[in-house]
Amino acid sequence: MSVTAQDIGRVIGLHGDGLPVVSLYAQIPLDPAERGGLMGRVRSLLADVREAADGQSVDHAARMSLREDLQRIEEAFRSEGRWPGTRSVAVFACSGRGVFEEIRLPRPVRDRAVVDETAFVRPVLAVLDQYPRCCVVLVDAAVTHVWELYQGELSEVRTLRGRKLRDPDYARWRREFTTHNRARELEKEHYRRTLQLLDELFRVTPYDVLVVGGLEQEVPGFVEFLPQRLRNLVAGTFVVDQSTDNREEIKKRAGEVLSEYERKSEREAVGHALETAAAGGRAVVGPDDCLWAGSVAAVDRLLVKSDAVLPGVVCDASGWLGTSGDKCPMCGEAVRKTPDVLDELVQVVIEEGGAIDHVSQDTRLREDLVAAELRFPLPPVPTG
């Protein structure tokens, strides 16, 4: 089961309004024989939640909400075979607000439990970032197969067959052209019909990239035949015998192209942001400047190291984000602590219409954690 934008929409911006939100991520063993330890692992992850529910560190309403959260989460993980084929599960719970959401993830993420006033969604967003929606086209002069590759699953979309020389409707070609010219004209017509099909598909489906496969002598010509709008979306090509009906082979070859494209795109994005910042342009690097940029809604594109976690503080009154402090320098109100201020930053950027890239490659974000391209120059940082 794929995680969708609708899944994310249900939990982004989820706020407890004074009550804690529990966000739990747990890997699900593929081997059923290994699932016996899952319940113990979940209970261990929830140890701090249980301590808060049984202690006096939060008020009565929060304790009651946490106790019900614990019960519902443990019941979910106690069910045998609940998530077949799922690699990890994210659970978001705030019983006092009537919230309980489960999101199945197609790849493993690090086990963790986070309690905060908002849902901890960055690992889910990182999964979505690593699975662009890809249109795969296998084309030759006679037939076109269109597939969709998304979150590791390949599904067939459409098959388009070219017209043949022996068709009665094409008798006139026998009178006017040689066999070679007839074949070339029919090939061009087939390519034109393929382009019409792709244009229709890209208008109704939010594909991020296009991968083209086929015979070695035909793929380059088809790519050149593409209009510039589609050519700009080509992530790469691969060579395969069009007669193959091996779905796994097609998925493997297209997946390799897509993986290399993603690695290259991440490196280029980080490099561009760092170069722009070094030249004094509209980009910043590092937590302090990026958090300030998020505080004033200046982030156009955020690049964040995929597994980075940074404790910090948030002012819910002004939207200010910082790594430390007791009072907001913008409005003077008390701030709340958060176990990961980078996740708060991600959610702010999404709400303001910015783009998010979670970077898994080994780049300079290993030290800097985060970089941002800006919509406008940053105002001076408040000192109050």
**Mean pLDDT across the stretch 352-377?**
91
Work out the angle at residue 42's Cα, subtended by the Cα atoms of residues 150 and 82, and round it to the nearest 5 degrees: 50
Confidence (pLDDT) at 223? 92
Residue appearing with tokens 């068709």 = 167
User: How far lies 322's CA from each of 22, 307, 348, in Å?
Assistant: 22, 19, 13
| Single-letter residue type at 227 | P
Confidence (pLDDT) at 175? 47
Question: Which position has the higher pLDDT, 350 or 169?
Answer: 350
Rounded CA separation 344/15 (Å): 11
Tell whether the model's pLDDT for residue 170 goes beyond 50: no
Confidence (pLDDT) at 177? 45
Confidence (pLDDT) at 100? 94
Rounded CA separation 254/148 (Å): 10
Please return the burial class of 360, using the count of CB atoms within 10 Å of its CB with bins 0-12, 13-18 and 19+: middle
Full DSSP string of 268-331: HHHHHHHHHHHTTSSEEESHHHHHHHHHTT-EEEEEEETT----EEE-TTT--EESS-SB-TTT
Which of 179-183, 239-243, 313-317 bottoms out in mean pLDDT, i.e. has the lowest? 179-183
Tell whether the model's pLDDT for residue 345 goes beyond 90: yes
Tell whether the model's pLDDT for residue 9 goes beyond 90: no
Rounded CA separation 384/381 (Å): 9
Confidence (pLDDT) at 166? 45
Enter the DSSP assignment of 360: -
Full DSSP string of 114-166: EEESB---HHHHHHHHT---EEEEEE-SSEEEEEEEETTEEEEEEEEEPPPTT
User: How far lies 370's CA from each of 286, 304, 342, 363, in Å?
Assistant: 5, 4, 8, 11
pLDDT band at 292 (very low <50, low <70, confident <90, very high): very high
Question: Which position has the higher pLDDT, 382 or 374?
Answer: 374
Tokens read off for 104: 């199945």
Tokens read off for 196: 């019409």
**Mean pLDDT across the stretch 57-77?**
93
**Mean pLDDT across the stretch 332-351?**
90
Tell whether the model's pLDDT for residue 167 goes beyond 70: no
For residue range 313-332, what is the model confidence (pLDDT) as tens digits? 999 899 999 999 999 999 99
Which of 168-177, 200-209, 270-279 bottoms out in mean pLDDT, i.e. has the lowest? 168-177
Average pLDDT, rounded, for the chain: 86
For residue range 139-161, what is the model confidence (pLDDT) as tens digits? 877 788 999 998 888 999 998 88
For residue range 103-146, what is the model confidence (pLDDT) as tens digits? 888 877 888 999 998 898 888 887 777 678 899 999 877 788 99
Confidence (pLDDT) at 174? 46
Confidence (pLDDT) at 2? 61
Rounded CA separation 222/63 (Å): 63
Confidence (pLDDT) at 82? 74
- Regarding pTM above 0.85, the answer is no
pLDDT band at 254 (very low <50, low <70, confident <90, very high): very high
Closest Cα partner for 349 from 10, 13, 124, 7?
13
